[in-house]
C-alpha cells in the first residue's frame, strides 16, 4: 500500500520513464551507433515504440487525466528523440563558404497561434562537397561568409553550425513532460471492478 493514500504501486506510473529510456536507446543507436539500421526501419520502430507506449498508457490510466497524460507522454517521447539527435556525435567539422541564402516565411493561422517565423536554407561550399546546406530559423549568415559546420560523415544527423547542438533544452522539457505523465498515472483512480 502507498503511504496513507490507499494506493499500491502503479506500474503505469513508471511507463513514461521506461518508454523514454527504450526510445532514447533506440534513437541513440540509430544516430550514433556503429551498424545502425536504415532510416526507414529506425523511424518505423520508433513510431511503434511511441505509439505502443501511448496506447498502453491511455488504456491503463483512468479518469480525466488519461488524455492529458497520454499527450504529455507523446510529446515527451518526441523530445527524447530530439535529445538523442542533439546529443549524437557530429564528429567532423569543416569551414564552409555561404553560397546562397534562401528565406521563407512560414505563416501561422488561428487565434492564439504562435507568430509566423522565417526559415532559412543556406547553400554551402564545403571541402569535399558535404555538407552542402544548413536549415534553420536562426539568424542566417551573410553570402560569402565562412562558417564552421559540424556534421556526421555517415549523414545520419543533419549538419549544424559548430557549437549549437546542445541537448539540454529538449532533455529538460522531456523530463518535465514525462514526469507529469508519470504523476498523472500515479494519481489516477482505481479501475472499476
Per-residue pLDDT at 105: 84
Domains in the chain, number: 2
146 compared with 35, residue with greater pLDDT = 146
The answer to whether residues 85 and 116 belong to one domain is: no
Domain membership of residue 6 (yes or no) is: no
Domain membership of residue 45 (yes or no) is: yes
The answer to whether residues 21 and 80 belong to one domain is: yes
Per-residue pLDDT at 8: 60
Residue 136: partners with Cβ closer than 8 Å, 6 or more residues away: 119, 120, 160
Per-residue pLDDT at 140: 85
Task: Say how many C-beta atoms besides its own lie within 10 A of residue 43's C-beta.
Answer: 13
State the Cα–Cα distance between residues 29 and 47, nearest whole angstrom.
15
The answer to whether residues 176 and 118 belong to one domain is: no
State if pTM tops 0.75.
no
The answer to whether residues 63 and 119 belong to one domain is: no
Per-residue pLDDT at 191: 59
The answer to whether residues 32 and 121 belong to one domain is: no
Instruction: Tell which residue, 73, 83, 31, has the closest CA to residue 49.
Output: 73
The answer to whether residues 110 and 154 belong to one domain is: yes
Domain span at 116: 92-161
pLDDT tier, 138 (very low <50, low <70, confident <90, very high otherwise) = confident
107 compared with 5, residue with greater pLDDT = 107
Per-residue pLDDT at 75: 95
Per-residue pLDDT at 72: 95
The answer to whether residues 100 and 137 belong to one domain is: yes
CA distances from 14 to 21, 25, 55, 82, 146 (A): 11, 17, 15, 21, 48
Amino acid at each position: 500500500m502507498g503511504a496513507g493514500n490507499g494506493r499500491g504501486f502503479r506500474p503505469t506510473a513508471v511507463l513514461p520513464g521506461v518508454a523514454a529510456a527504450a526510445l532514447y536507446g533506440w534513437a541513440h543507436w540509430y544516430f550514433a551507433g556503429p551498424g545502425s539500421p536504415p532510416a526507414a526501419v529506425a523511424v518505423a520502430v520508433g513510431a511503434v515504440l511511441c505509439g505502443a507506449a501511448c496506447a498502453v498508457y491511455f488504456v491503463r490510466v483512468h479518469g480525466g487525466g488519461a488524455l492529458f497524460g497520454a499527450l504529455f507522454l507523446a510529446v515527451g517521447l518526441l523530445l527524447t528523440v530530439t535529445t538523442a539527435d542533439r546529443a549524437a556525435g557530429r564528429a567532423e567539422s569543416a569551414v564552409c563558404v555561404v553560397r546562397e541564402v534562401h528565406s521563407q516565411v512560414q505563416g501561422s493561422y488561428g487565434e492564439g497561434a504562435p507568430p509566423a517565423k522565417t526559415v532559412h536554407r543556406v547553400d554551402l561550399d564545403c571541402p569535399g562537397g558535404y555538407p552542402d546546406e544548413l536549415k534553420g530559423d536562426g539568424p542566417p549568415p551573410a553570402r560569402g561568409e565562412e562558417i564552421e559546420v559540424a556534421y556526421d560523415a555517415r549523414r545520419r544527423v543533419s549538419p549544424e553550425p559548430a557549437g549549437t547542438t546542445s541537448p539540454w533544452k529538449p532533455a529538460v522539457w522531456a523530463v518535465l513532460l514525462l514526469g507529469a505523465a508519470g504523476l498523472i498515472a500515479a494519481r489516477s483512480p482505481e479501475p472499476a471492478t
